[in-house]
């Protein structure tokens, strides 16, 4: 018997991506669809690409509407998931695509989000050492932010192997879907097309503590992170450029590449590209895939790693299903596309 899933926030970008992947998952069937302001409408009014679900009604989001499902995905704004999750039975697999259960430090939560702090859940980025084991059998999963996913995958081998000093710079370019579906003047086509804009500059972006948490947990002690996000004129995708000072002057490109190859050789969704080939966001659109490259800037004495993902797939919904597969004892790759769309 296939498992029934419910999606809260079904009318948003993440909700739509969750449903797209659910339709291709052989062990899942779609149950309740809920949302806030969209309640009472049909899904096709918001997700017209999901043809087979277009006539399904959207209910108001409540614990009662989500009850009776095996897996519940919460694609809700930050601060909305914790209370709702607390009302769901412990034997239901609840997947929070928001930030409510990501951070382990109450002080960091208070500074960057505020409000009631809730205990962290197993973190849904299996490629972090130890994270995959923590997901096995779990009934609660915290899906990472899309920026932290990209930056962390780019940096794991360098930080974990001690190739770099614990001072990491991240500059990441994101498509506009990362800001959600709500109408915002600065995301209008006429404002975005032909322009790129940095925001949250000077350590002001709330994904900073999550990146710090991920990299500081790799065994090398606390890691300082300078994170600068950039809004790019594209609908989806993230490109992260991560750099850090070399821990020793003798580190060369061959050593760096060996560390990355060793780290990701058995990972089904992270691909180290051939030497000289740089990742491009267009290559991972619609795929639960990360492409990674690493170089050494000898003159500057820095390691430079680049990574790309689709922010809605590997960055959120695909990472969620990957983690759900692990939690349920299924093949980790089940139902997840690895090939992007081209052109």
Q: What span, in angstroms and rounded, lies between the C-alpha atoms of 343 and 332?
A: 28
Strand order, beta sheet including 238-245: 197-198, 224-231, 167-174, 238-245, 302-309, 290-297, 270-272
Whether 146 is a known active-site residue: answer yes
The token duo for 79 is 């601060």
**Sequence-ordered list of residues with C-beta below 8 angstroms from that of 202, at least 6 positions apart, any chain:** none
Q: What span, in angstroms and rounded, lies between the C-alpha atoms of 32 and 86?
A: 18
Return the biggest CA–CA distance within the chain.
Answer: 63
The residue annotated as part of the active site, out of 75, 143, 146, 327, is 146
Map residue 230 onto helix, strand or coil.
strand
Bridge partners of residue 283, in order along the sequence: none
Q: What span, in angstroms and rounded, lies between the C-alpha atoms of 67 and 40?
A: 19
Q: What span, in angstroms and rounded, lies between the C-alpha atoms of 22 and 320?
A: 11
Map residue 297 onto helix, strand or coil.
strand
Residue with tokens 């995959």: 132
Q: What span, in angstroms and rounded, lies between the C-alpha atoms of 184 and 168?
A: 31
- Catalytically active residues are 146
């Amino acid at each position: 018997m296939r498992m029934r899933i419910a999606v809260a926030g079904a009318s948003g970008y993440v909700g739509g991506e969750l449903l797209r992947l659910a339709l291709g998952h052989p062990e899942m069937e779609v149950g309740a669809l809920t949302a806030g302001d969209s309640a009472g409408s049909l899904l096709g009014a918001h997700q017209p690409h999901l043809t087979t679900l277009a006539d399904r009604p959207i209910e108001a989001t409540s614990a009662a509407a989500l009850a009776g499902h095996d897996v519940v995905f919460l694609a809700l704004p930050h601060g909305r998931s914790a209370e709702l999750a607390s009302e769901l039975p412990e034997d239901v697999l609840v997947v929070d695509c928001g930030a409510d259960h990501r951070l382990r430090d109450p002080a960091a939560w208070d500074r960057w989000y505020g409000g009631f702090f809730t205990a962290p859940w197993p973190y849904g980025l299996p490629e972090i050492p130890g994270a995959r084991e923590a997901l096995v059998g779990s009934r609660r999963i915290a899906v990472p932010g899309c920026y932290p996913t990209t930056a962390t995958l780019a940096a794991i081998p360098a930080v974990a192997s001690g190739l770099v000093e614990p001072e990491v710079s991240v500059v990441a370019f994101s498509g506009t879907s990362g800001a959600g579906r709500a109408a915002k003047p600065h995301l209008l086509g006429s404002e975005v097309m032909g322009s790129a804009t940095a925001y949250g500059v000077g350590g002001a972006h709330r994904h900073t503590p999550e990146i710090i948490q991920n990299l500081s947990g790799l065994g090398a002690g606390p890691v300082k992170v300078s994170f600068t996000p950039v809004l790019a004129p594209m609908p989806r995708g993230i490109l992260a450029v991560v750099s850090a000072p070399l821990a020793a002057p003798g580190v060369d490109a061959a050593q760096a590449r060996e560390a990355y190859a060793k780290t990701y050789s058995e990972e089904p969704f992270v691909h180290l590209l051939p030497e000289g080939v740089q990742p491009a966001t267009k290559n991972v659109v619609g795929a639960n895939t990360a492409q990674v490259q690493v170089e050494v800037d000898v003159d500057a004495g820095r390691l430079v790693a680049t990574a790309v993902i689709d922010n809605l797939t590997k960055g959120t919904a695909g990472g969620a299903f990957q983690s759900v597969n692990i939690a349920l004892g299924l093949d980790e790759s089940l139902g997840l596309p690895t090939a992007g769309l081209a052109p």
